[in-house]
Structure 1
């Protein structure tokens, strides 16, 4: 008697960043035969050269700030000089040691993720991959491209190839003086004067961090204020903090070129002004790694910028091909990439899936203080795209903030007019990335401000400002 066994579904994942990692893990957990193709290491650029090392650097910057501001809380640091009198020591940052630590953390995270995939039964192939139609990936597994190949047949393909820093012809990075954010970790000493071109999230985060680490920083912003596109009140707070900390912010300025000199760099602005510095960080956006990987031949639609078009379950124009992460046309966040990876595999394998609602995604900017947002924005409410009421509560009125010496920040809530349903919010505070979760939960679960206000918060706590703001928006029945 002959028995027929159903063949395991074959899933091939191209790229091992947050999206690819989660896709591979989800597929293995659901019983699929999964192969992950990655050229540089599991975790991709997010873990190896971007999110993990950059946020580790920012953690060091926060520690430096905490020491510098300890005197405000009555804590003073002194050593004894030759005369026996107390001498206040300087705060010194050993950048070589800092970078060694954070790159070690990045490698360890990558190794932990790889080990998790191996335990789950995922086959990992190291090499350069490209689509071969809609049912296979061809991998060049030799350092000499074009010599050894591995062909991975698949029923479902998930493309998660990420993105790389955008390079301008007039400011080509050399890895020593003119740098992308992936090259900063080779620095051995803190730049004496760091010029940052670009005041978006990446530029603002590194400008904030290196100011705390002791660099003189000049931030070149082409817009009226830093962080264009973010909540206006939040961006204003951050810019004021930047300037108070000694950063030079050049608004409505655009860099025409950046060139290396004998011992530094010179940035020339379009209005003819020049700024001399020791180093320059180019933070002018990113480019998806989608060129030359067979997307066009497979029939996968991409945008003019090269990003892969996907729907709310991360599916592309080809039914069995999905895309996740910064290579897609969705929000370029690691959390979104991870959700896309899981959602793609759940959908492909017929498991229960909730289409991604980008409006419910919480995001954070790791400046000092941080900016966290979720849901509808104030701009959308003011433009009539969403109907809502707005309430803003300065953080300086919070008792815990006073105890911690926090001077800057606020909690802002947006609630649906009439029903009081929480539709969004903004938090500017230390660790805003942690404080935003109650608001993200409220938005996701459609809680009202009264329901949020009824939750008990610890007294004193920064989270108390969230319930205070919700209480102020009480809906009278």
Structure 2
């Protein structure tokens, strides 16, 4: 008899786990509430990066004059501005997200995975009770349960979104008019990405940061480059400014800071972090422990504290990335169903901040080196000296590599620049496979190419 696997949540952690479980011969049921793909596909990652793709094109157009390109109107006169139709942009964003969700549904159907629409909760470690849309219930017996319920935007009593002018990042795609002045509260990854994107779309943006710089959790050198670029392009960054409240009066939104200052805008995006979707899941009754923030405790093979119950994705609070959620889900199934499995290694996770310029990282960080967490040699190489960067008019950004002294093994890296999300891959391979800086340097790169700077940085780590 096949193992019965019940997965609560249809996001990356859930649907990727379903594919693995089906491949291993299990009888798989996915319980989904809000749409296959979860917030990553429908309201977060896919939509935001689609919006950012439009913003990237706007940035390239605004800087085209440096490459000798000009625009003219229908009468032949020089064009004076480039504008964005935000309603059309958002229409495309939502259509693409829906298409992606439909693709996931087709793939699950192809693999023989049953999808039940409803809200699932643990009735016991081996039983999931589903509340169906019509109010009825269905009980699913399981040999293995995976909880992949995700997270949602954090809001505060003093800053309540109205879905029109005070918005969470899940609500921005309902805007059909271009904001006159957008205030973004929160300078973490989400806040920085939206502030950067809307600035590129020609919108006045003020970023309210409670810390002394944007992206306090990222490489300090990278964050400094981003803040310099954003400021140069016209963003107003309010550092060390903590939000007290956000209120709306008519078409005006007022952000009040704890020191009494106020910032007025036409719209406000709240980027205050995330809270896990773990309420009313029957966790305590089933023996599944959570931490003080409500996140499910899961180990490196995705096991919870209840036998046979696993967890993956944002509901665990482990690096809130779609790629990590998907890997947690796969690992859970490999482990539960007896396949070969390697525990999750966060030092091999590559991540990217989709700002302009992008910031990509993998492995050990500069902060860990500075604080003595690891002994490593560091080389930083500005992109301004790269031939391809000069051709493309790229002045901002750098490549940074970390390697162990003695062995020369590459243990981390940072790339800041256009398409850094693509450029980080060779560094990710080096970290995952414990390659030396010499091995990374001696692999051929195309000339001219941005990736040539990665090889050059590796060459500078060579020791005779």
Normalised by the shorter chain, which TM-score bucket? over 0.9
* Aligned mates of 1:254, 1:319 — CA distance in 2: 43
Aligned to 2:123: 132
TM-score if structure 1 supplies the norm length? 0.96
Q: Secondary structure at the match of 1:219?
A: strand
- Is 1:31 paired with 2:22? no
**Equivalence for 2:457:** 469
How do 1:198-209 residues align onto structure 2 when only pairs under 5 Å count?
198-209=186-197
Match of 1:10 among 1, 4, 8: 4
* 2:333 is aligned with 1:345: yes
- Structure 1 gaps of 5+ residues are 1-6
Query: Given the alignment, which residue of 289, 307, 313 partners 1:325?
Result: 313
1:296 matched to 2:284? The reply is: yes
Deviations 1:158-188 (A, max 9, x none): 0000000001100100000100000000000
Q: Does 1:365 align with 2:356?
A: no
Report SS of the residue matched to 1:8.
coil
Kept after mapping to 2: 8 A contact 1:23/1:342: yes
Equivalent residue for 2:72, pick from 78, 82, 85: 78
- Contact 2:70–2:78 (8 Å) recurs in 1: no
Q: CA deviation at 1:329?
A: 3.1
Q: Which runs of 5+ in 2 are unaligned?
A: none
User: Which of residues 83, 105, 111 in structure 1 aligns to 2:102?
Assistant: 111
Separation in 1, partners of 2:317, 2:268: 29
Deviation of residue 353 (structure 1)? 0.4
> Following TM superposition, by how much is the alpha carbon of 1:264 offset from its aligned partner in structure 2, in angstroms?
1.6
Shift of 1:212: 0.5
Summarize the Cα distance change of 1:80–1:43 in structure 2 as closer, same or farther, 3 Å threshold. Answer: closer
| 3-state SS, counterpart of residue 67 of structure 1 | helix
Q: Partner residue of 2:414?
A: 426
Within 5 Å, give how 1:58-97 maps onto structure 2. Answer: 58-81=52-75, 86-97=77-88
Q: 1:167 and 2:155 equivalent?
A: yes
Where do residues 259-408 of structure 1 align in structure 2 (5 Å cutoff)? 259-408=247-396
| 1:158 has 2:146 as partner | yes
8 Å contact from structure 1 (residues 13, 36) kept in 2:
yes
1:101-125 CA-partner distances (Å, limit 9, x unpaired) = 0100000000000110011000000
Structure 1: how far apart are the matches of 2:359 and 2:74? 40
CA distance in 1, matches of 2:114, 2:127: 15
| Whole-Å separation in 2 of the counterparts to 1:16 and 1:321 | 16
SS of aligned partner of 2:359: strand
Mapped partners of 1:379, 1:119: distance in 2: 45
Q: How many residues align?
A: 464
- Taking the aligned partners of 1:87 and 1:312, their CA distance within structure 2 comes to 59
| Pairing 1:43–2:37 present | yes
- In 2, are the aligned partners of 1:310 and 1:329 still within 8 Å (CA)? no
Decide whether the 8 Å contact of 2:409 with 2:434 is kept in 1: yes
Structure 2 contact 11–38 (Cα < 8 Å) conserved: yes
- 8 Å contact from structure 1 (residues 80, 87) kept in 2: no
1:183-237: CA deviation from partner (whole Å, max 9, x where unpaired): 0000001211000000000000000000011110000000000000210000000
1:322-351, CA deviations, whole angstroms, 9 ceiling, x for partnerless residues?
000000131111000000111000100000
Does 1:241 find its partner at 2:229?
yes
Partner of 2:431: 443
Report how far residue 89 of structure 1 moved.
4.1
Farther-moved stretch of structure 1 (245-254 vs 312-321):
312-321
Shift >4 Å, 4+ stretches: none
Aligned partners of 2:304, 2:257: CA distance in 1, in Å? 41
Distance 2:74 2:418 in 1: 34
Q: Judge which range, 62-71 or 156-165, deviates more.
A: 62-71
Query: What is the alpha-carbon distance in structure 1 between the residues aligned to residue 167 and residue 217 of structure 2?
Result: 25
In the superposition, the TM-score normalised over structure 2's length comes to 0.99
Q: Give distance in 1, aligned partners of 2:59 and 2:208.
A: 23
SS for the counterpart of 1:402 is helix
